[in-house]
Amino acid sequence: MACWLYQMSYPLYTHELYRAEVWEGSLVMNWSIGEATRRPTQVSLGDTVVLFYARTDAHDPGIYGWGVIASFDGEVIHFRPAPPSDYLKMAPVPEEEVSGIIDSIRGQVPMGTMWEVDEEALARIRRKIAAHVYGISL
């Protein structure tokens, strides 16, 4: 099972649209991976997706949720948000708390939509979410 960082593009996906459209347990359909020349090819059913607004253009950047990929056709993903995504969309993990992790995932190419997340980075993201939402350290 892989994990993917999905960088939401503002203003294509505004904060308001995200909060209205993305609900835990609901299937979110047709999210474009953009016009990236570097498209992910190994995205599979059941993979994890972490949803993130970058500091560029977004008025409240950070991690807004995560979920499970239901399908991917090379152009769009369909995913089901998982807890605590409903909490995170109202109180995201601030970008400054995860910028080092995000920058290491995106590497030299911060412009884009989806990047594969290695196990160590995913473990760090999980710890940040747990500390932010539940006040616990893993």
Percent of the chain predicted with pLDDT > 70: 95
Interatomic CA distance for residues 127 and 60, integer angstroms: 21
Q: Within 13 Å of residue 55, how many CA atoms lie on the same side as its CB? A: 10
Q: What is the predicted pLDDT for the residue at 125?
A: 97
Q: What is the predicted pLDDT for the residue at 11?
A: 77
* CB of 128 closer than 8 Å to CB of 101: yes
Determine the average pLDDT of the residues in 64-85.
94
Determine the average pLDDT of the residues in 37-62.
85
* CB of 92 closer than 8 Å to CB of 60: yes
Extract the tokens encoding 18.
Answer: 């995200």
Q: What mean pLDDT value characterizes the chain?
A: 89
User: What does the pLDDT look like over 3-37, one tens digit per residue?
Assistant: 999 988 777 788 898 899 899 999 999 888 776 55
* Report field, pTM of the whole predicted structure over 0.75: yes
Q: What is the predicted pLDDT for the residue at 33?
A: 79
Interatomic CA distance for residues 1 and 69, integer angstroms: 11
Percent of the chain predicted with pLDDT > 90: 60
Interatomic CA distance for residues 55 and 66, integer angstroms: 18
Determine the average pLDDT of the residues in 97-114.
86
Domains of the chain: 3-134 (3.10.590)
